Amino acid sequence: MKDVTTSNFGLLIAFVLPGFVLLWGIAPYSQTVTNWLAHANSDAPTVGGFLYATLASVGLGQLVSTLRWLLIDSLHHRTGITPPKVGFASLKDAVGAFDRLIEIHYRYYQWHANALIAATMAAVLYWFARGLRFREVLLLIAVDALLYVGSRDTLTKYYRRVDELLRRDD
């Protein structure tokens, strides 16, 4: 099995974990998903269940990422975070540095913003199935606020450093 590296860790936190959070929110609506996520000794997950849960998490992570692009990216751009004006012609001389910026900033932005979307969706789905609890709402508000602030910080740093690396002089 391949070791966790900087590049695949970023993909794991950006897509698989948020997808898994949403999968957890879907579990009350699907016995199959519930079985994939089973934890009791008699209902221990199987290799097939692990594979299905992983694949479903990746797919749901992509869906969450699309919602992130539609909602969170747009919100950040409307509230003062400006994408850099870059000249990709200079990228050929800075591919390694650009890839590093993606891994140390953009993947973490994707994690924060995707987790915000996934946690909110999972909580709403869970509450529809199991009932609303006031403490859980407060916890979600606190977690979402933290993820939102984290997403603004990491996206701002990513844009600033990409601008420094690939600035286009107009």
pLDDT tens digits for range 25-35: 999 999 999 88
Q: Evaluate whether residue 126 is within a structural domain.
A: yes
Q: Evaluate whether residue 124 is within a structural domain.
A: yes
Per-residue pLDDT reduced to its tens digit, 35-92: 888 764 455 666 777 888 899 999 999 999 999 999 999 999 999 999 998 878 888 8
pLDDT of res. 91: 87
Distance, CA of 111 to chain centre: 3
Q: Evaluate whether residue 97 is within a structural domain.
A: yes
Given a cut of 70, whether residue 1 has pLDDT beyond it is no
Q: How far apart are CA 119 and CA 98, in angstroms?
A: 30
SS3 assignment, position 98: helix
Q: How far apart are CA 8 and CA 74, in angstroms?
A: 26
Tell which wins on pLDDT, 43 or 167.
Answer: 167
Number of domains in the chain: 1
Range of the domain at 97: 6-166
Q: What is the pTM of this model?
A: 0.88
pLDDT of res. 147: 98
pLDDT of res. 30: 94
As a whole number of Å, the CA-based R_g of the chain is 19
Give the pLDDT band of residue 169 (cuts 50, 70, 90): low
pLDDT of res. 48: 75
In this structure, what DSSP letter does residue 14 have? Answer: I
SS3 assignment, position 81: coil
Q: Which CA distances in Å does 73 have to 26, 52, 54, 60?
A: 25, 30, 26, 18
Q: Evaluate whether residue 1 is within a structural domain.
A: no
Beta bridge partners of 55: none
Yes or no: say if 17 and 122 are a contact pair by the CB < 8 Å rule.
no
pLDDT of res. 97: 93
Q: Evaluate whether residue 156 is within a structural domain.
A: yes
Task: Provide DSSP, 24-58.
Answer: HHHGGG-HHHHHHT--SGGGPPPHHHHHHHHHHHH
Q: Evaluate whether residue 88 is within a structural domain.
A: yes
Per-residue pLDDT reduced to its tens digit, 117-161: 999 999 999 999 999 999 999 999 999 999 999 999 999 999 999
Yes or no: say if 136 and 84 are a contact pair by the CB < 8 Å rule.
no
